[in-house]
Amino acid sequence: MSNSSKQNIVLPSLNIDNLSLFYHKKPAFKGINIPIHGGKITALIGPSGCGKSSFLSCINRLVDMIPNTHIEGNIRLDGLPILGKKIDTLNLRRHIGTIFQKPNPFPFSIYKNLAFPLKEHGIKDKNKIEYLIEKSLKNVGLWQEIKDRLHQNALSLSGGQKQRLCIARALILEPEVLLFDEPCSALDPISSGVVEDLIASLRDKYTVVIVTHNLAQAKRIGDYGALFWTENNIGTLAEFGTIEQIFNHPQSEITRAYIQGIRG
Ligand SMILES: Nc1ncnc2c1ncn2[C@@H]1O[C@H](COP(=O)(O)OP(=O)(O)OP(=O)(O)O)[C@@H](O)[C@H]1O
């Protein structure tokens, strides 16, 4: 689906209902309720260890790969439950792309990095693959920069280019939801700005959830914000609201103190 046609469809929401995650029976977070609005950017903020990354790993079901984990509660994507053993997680991750903190291109060519997920999902037609590679690189503003070096090793790219390639690799499967786990924190300030602008440009085309330690970034690009906190070493949700509410009219004393840099 092209980005222009995406603008005409309703993007899926994610409903997080009383979600708890346990590692080896110990809760990482408990009782999280968040409505993640379709086509908007929801920024997850909060101190280290309060469960933000673990929360993302429940949405994309990467948590299934960690032994001795247990989830309680529900996550619904466009109303459909996505937890449970019967869900085809490979197919789910076609709809929910993830971009990690450290740009992690595979150690082979730029072309193969982008062709790999397509082949994994059964797309083998060379013309279609080349069309989708060009489209996804254009979507992240990389096409002009690297169109003449598609067969060079992706590890030869700069840090910012690598991260944009990883975003292109997520976009190539045409997901509706994108999860970003501190996508700028390993980048220099200029590359960080380029990637941040790119994420902001995805608003209205994808449902975006971003974990960031950079409060200014959350304020700049978020539509909604969720402050995670810890009580007795267990993650909780201190507050969810519009970014305007979180930063200018917080309802919780914890949020007020965290935003002002007094706590956390
Ligand atoms: N694979 C794991 N096995 C056991 N415990 C884990 C695992 N991953 C995370 N945890 C624990 O779960 C809690 C939440 O960690 P998580 O990384 O989700 O927090 P975070 O808010 O994303 O932190 P940061 O901002 O530092 O990335 C922590 O106590 C952490 O030690």
Residues 6+ away with beta carbon under 8 Å from 142: 161, 164, 165, 168
How many angstroms separate the alpha carbon of residue 250 from the centre of ligand 1? 26
Residue 45 Cβ < 6 Å to ligand 1: no
Q: Atom 3, ligand 1: which residue's CA is nearest?
A: 23
For 39-82, what is each residue's pLDDT tens digit?
999 999 999 999 999 999 999 999 999 999 999 999 999 999 99
| Residue 183 pLDDT greater than 50, yes or no | yes
Q: Which residue bears the tokens 């069309």? A: 131
ipTM passes above 0.85: yes
Residues 6+ away with beta carbon under 8 Å from 254: 227, 229, 238, 239, 263
Distance of CA 66 to the CA centre of its chain: 19
Residue 75 Cβ < 6 Å to ligand 1: no
Determine contact, residues 110/57, Cβ cutoff 8 Å. Answer: no
Q: Cα separation of 111 and 136, whole Å?
A: 11
For 96-145, what is each residue's pLDDT tens digit?
999 999 999 999 999 999 999 999 989 999 999 999 999 999 999 999 99
How many angstroms separate the alpha carbon of residue 48 from the centre of ligand 1? 8
* Edge-to-edge order in the sheet of strand 207-211: 80-81, 69-77, 14-23, 26-36, 234-242, 224-231, 41-45, 207-211, 177-181, 96-99
Residue 183 Cβ < 6 Å to ligand 1: no
How many angstroms separate the alpha carbon of residue 96 from the centre of ligand 1? 21
Mean pLDDT of 162-174: 95
Q: Atom 25, ligand 1: which residue's CA is nearest?
A: 48
Q: Cα separation of 146 and 31, whole Å?
A: 45
Q: Residue 153 forms beta bridges with which residues?
A: 109
Q: Residue 246 forms beta bridges with which residues?
A: none
Assigned token pair, 127:
């013309």
Ligand 1 pocket test: which of 23, 60, 71 has the largest number of ligand atoms within 8 Å of its C-beta? Answer: 23
Q: Atom 30, ligand 1: which residue's CA is nearest?
A: 49
| Residue 30 pLDDT greater than 60, yes or no | yes
pLDDT score, position 263 = 67
Assigned token pair, 3:
């980005």
How many angstroms separate the alpha carbon of residue 55 from the centre of ligand 1? 9
Residue 54 Cβ < 6 Å to ligand 1: yes
| Residue 4 pLDDT greater than 90, yes or no | no
Q: Cα separation of 10 and 30, whole Å?
A: 30
| Residue 5 pLDDT greater than 70, yes or no | no
pLDDT score, position 105 = 95
